Structure 1
Amino acid sequence: MSPDLAARITLEEGAPLLQAVVHHEAEANQLRVLAIKGPSLAVLGLRDPRPHADIDVLAAPSDLDAVVAMMEEIGWRRALESTAPTLLPAHSVNLLNDWWPLSIDAHHYFPGFLAPPDAVFEALWCRRTTVELAGAPVLTPDRVAHAAIAALHLLREKRPETDDLELELLVQRAARTLSVHDLDELVDFAEVTGAAVTLGPFLEALGRPSGTVTGPGHHAQLASWNKRVSSPRSSTWIYQLGSSPLRRWPQLIWRAVLLSDDEIRTFHGGDGESLLRARVRRLRRGFRSVPRAAFDLWRQKAREWVLRVWRPT
């Protein structure tokens, strides 16, 4: 693709076209990939069409490296990776191309599903369907599974000013497009993928009960999820301090305050914004989150201390 052609592709056109390209390449290389969110969600009737700055694909965990290599062979490259701490494990590789106006997020699992990534992908693969994007067939999860993915995304990235409304709209769309049988299958799907609790607000809004945590290791994963959805992103530095020895605090605080110029540009800069302005805005946002995060951390440590000291007889 030439730069002139890339300049004429809009975000509305680029997302379905790029999904079709990824699907075509994956099929040619016998790799299992599903289009998630984005234009496929709109085709399924769970969201209105909209422009997208990136596309999301979910690869079988064992295929992810091959999918990234496949895209690198046709001109894509890995984006800069953030060194900031996270409450949830890294779940995707971001890919960029100078000739496309949008990026690719290649996932090997999707946060909120607490079951093992392999098991989650197989459950999604069993519920795959085909949608037409840019005139080509593309594999994607069906309405039941895709409703779960969309809800987990909104619950994880919750921003009070927008996502309460977006979640409400998703509930309305799901209520209109999913049959009673589909809703029962949604509950079963949530149980199988370990998302019965993380999807609780969405299921309850649809008149279905949320489940309980039953899988091995799910309690620890759920605790990380709950921290993620209830805390500002900048508070992750506070949580990392709380889990690190005091001798590492100066190094961590220095890193938190002074990320590299590339990280500031990539993850915190606005269009046309100077580095200094982006740094100041990031620090202000971070300092606002400190009291809440510090209180949550203190409460967690106090609970752990009580459990160590007090043993019921």
Structure 2
Amino acid sequence: MPLRRSSLSTPSLATALAVHAAEEAGAPCLIIKGLVSDAHGLRPARVSADVDLLVSPGSQGKVREVLEKFGWSERPASAVARALISHSWTFSHPRWDVDIDLHWRFPGMLIDDNSAFNNLHARQVELEFAGRSIPCANRPSSILIGALHALRSPGQSPRHEREFLYLRDDVVPSLSAAEQEQLVALARDLGALDTVRPVLQGSPIELPSPTPWGVDPALDRWRERVATSVPRHTVLRHAFAEMSPMERILFLVRAVVGNGTHRASDRAPAAFAGAEAPRSFARRTVAGLSGIAGIFRARRWARQHWRNLMPPGWSGQ
């Protein structure tokens, strides 16, 4: 019997719709974060601005087609945003005041995407939203997902630190010994034992020694991201390194001059015409130079604190 957790709020209705889209596409799925974290008591209850749908890797294209059939469309994204976000798409609808984030992988889980999804999906629980049973991440999975989400974007919002500290200082210590063992085992199964290590400080369970710096490139990239107040700079640096020479030129032109399509999250001007163009160019150039300096600071911090890395300035660092 699924546990009833929500009334007919807009987020709960959008949750049911997102799962229906995945089912119509034949895609195994889970709802993560948001209302699920509220249901598990992992954060102070608040109104969610989006629904996070995690689907099996490779099925996201079919789910996208169904959402588009239902009238949802991907939010426009700049070249910078597209290079930055490689794990999800965000969809909006003119008659809905919430977004649907369609995920096929979750950053910080360093095993292959299919294995990560299968581990989470095998542990699913059913919660009731909008009058129907919804497959959701269970409580241990949600603890790790919440910690990874906060750590990967430390400068995005002050609440990320608050929610992380609540998980570390209140939730994890309150778990039974068996539950803590399950949490550590899940982190190991997801290839996330090093990436979520900071939240496991609240557990008395002895953890294996952390993987040293320089052994796992994916882990070192994660550490650099956690160590910078603007994680996009580190992510863009690694994305840029994998581009061909021509792709780099096109990317720089679009990133600095603009390609006419920008999300609010890019903090980019809405237009690049007329008198605004020189000012936009100057602002973005200065921001880019500042970002380069931030990348080197983050790399230095990560190399110094890799054993138990938390974002600079956070409590407990």
- The answer to whether TM tops 0.5 is yes
Question: TM-score, normalised to structure 1's length?
Answer: 0.76
Matches within 5 A, 1:237-256: 237=236, 253-256=252-255
Residue in 2 that maps onto 1:78: 74
Which one has more relative contact order, counting CA pairs under 8 Å at least 6 apart?
Answer: 2
Matched residue of 1:62: which SS?
coil
What amino acid maps onto 1:109 in structure 2? R
Mean CA deviation greater in 280-289 or 41-50: 280-289
Report how far residue 140 of structure 1 moved. Answer: 0.5
Matched residue of 1:98: which SS?
coil
Report how far residue 69 of structure 1 moved. Answer: 1.6
Mean CA deviation greater in 234-243 or 17-26: 234-243
Report how far residue 261 of structure 1 moved. Answer: 3.3
Q: Cα–Cα, structure 1 residues 80 and 96, in superposed 2: closer, same or farther, change >3 Å?
A: same
**More helix per residue:** 1
Residues 1:125 and 2:124 aligned together: no
Among all aligned residue pairs of Structure 1 and Structure 2, give the percentage whose two residues are the same amino acid. Answer: 25
What amino acid maps onto 2:165 in structure 1? E
Distance in 1, Cα, partners of 2:96 & 2:75: 14
Residues 1:97 and 2:93 aligned together: yes
Matched residue of 2:36: which SS?
helix
Report how far residue 188 of structure 1 moved. Answer: 0.5
- Is the contact between residue 154 and residue 166 of structure 1 (CA under 8 Å) also seen in structure 2? yes
Distance in 1, Cα, partners of 2:133 & 2:98: 21
- Is the contact between residue 85 and residue 240 of structure 1 (CA under 8 Å) also seen in structure 2? no
Rg larger in 1 or in 2? 1
What amino acid maps onto 1:39 in structure 2? L
Residues 1:155 and 2:144 aligned together: no
Residues 1:59 and 2:58 aligned together: no
Report how far residue 258 of structure 1 moved. Answer: 2.1
Matched residue of 2:80: which SS?
coil
Residues 1:40 and 2:36 aligned together: yes
- Is the contact between residue 19 and residue 53 of structure 2 (CA under 8 Å) also seen in structure 1? no
Q: Cα–Cα, structure 1 residues 54 and 184, in superposed 2: closer, same or farther, change >3 Å?
A: same
- Is the contact between residue 87 and residue 225 of structure 1 (CA under 8 Å) also seen in structure 2? no
Q: Cα–Cα, structure 1 residues 82 and 125, in superposed 2: closer, same or farther, change >3 Å?
A: same
- Is the contact between residue 15 and residue 129 of structure 2 (CA under 8 Å) also seen in structure 1? yes
In the alignment of these two chains, the number of paired residues is: 285
Mean CA deviation greater in 182-191 or 93-102: 93-102
Residue in 1 that maps onto 2:190: 193
What amino acid maps onto 1:262 in structure 2? T
- Is the contact between residue 169 and residue 202 of structure 2 (CA under 8 Å) also seen in structure 1? no
Distance in 1, Cα, partners of 2:181 & 2:187: 10
Distance in 2, Cα, partners of 1:200 & 1:179: 18
- Is the contact between residue 41 and residue 47 of structure 1 (CA under 8 Å) also seen in structure 2? yes
Matched residue of 1:84: which SS?
helix
Matches within 5 A, 1:251-290: 253-263=252-262, 265=264, 267-268=266-267, 276=276, 279=280, 285-290=287-292
Distance in 1, Cα, partners of 2:189 & 2:11: 30
Question: TM-score, normalised to structure 2's length?
Answer: 0.75
Name stretches of at least 5 consecutive residues in structure 1 with no aligned partner: 1-11, 301-313
What amino acid maps onto 1:99 in structure 2? R
Q: 1:205 aligns with which of 195, 202, 205?
A: 202
Distance in 1, Cα, partners of 2:244 & 2:118: 40
What amino acid maps onto 1:13 in structure 2? S
Distance in 1, Cα, partners of 2:73 & 2:176: 42
Residue in 2 that maps onto 1:235: 233
Q: 2:165 aligns with which of 163, 168, 171?
A: 168
Report how far residue 262 of structure 1 moved. Answer: 1.9
Report how far residue 128 of structure 1 moved. Answer: 0.3
What amino acid maps onto 1:163 in structure 2? H
Distance in 1, Cα, partners of 2:16 & 2:163: 26
Distance in 1, Cα, partners of 2:199 & 2:222: 15
- Is the contact between residue 131 and residue 138 of structure 1 (CA under 8 Å) also seen in structure 2? yes
Q: Cα–Cα, structure 1 residues 296 and 125, in superposed 2: closer, same or farther, change >3 Å?
A: closer
Distance in 1, Cα, partners of 2:221 & 2:18: 32
Aligned CA-pair RMSD? 3.6
Report how far residue 151 of structure 1 moved. Answer: 0.5
Distance in 1, Cα, partners of 2:251 & 2:69: 37
- Is the contact between residue 78 and residue 263 of structure 2 (CA under 8 Å) also seen in structure 1? no
Mean CA deviation greater in 201-210 or 60-69: 201-210
Q: Cα–Cα, structure 1 residues 16 and 285, in superposed 2: closer, same or farther, change >3 Å?
A: farther
Mean CA deviation greater in 121-130 or 229-238: 229-238
- Is the contact between residue 241 and residue 249 of structure 1 (CA under 8 Å) also seen in structure 2? yes
Distance in 2, Cα, partners of 1:136 & 1:15: 14
Matched residue of 1:81: which SS?
coil
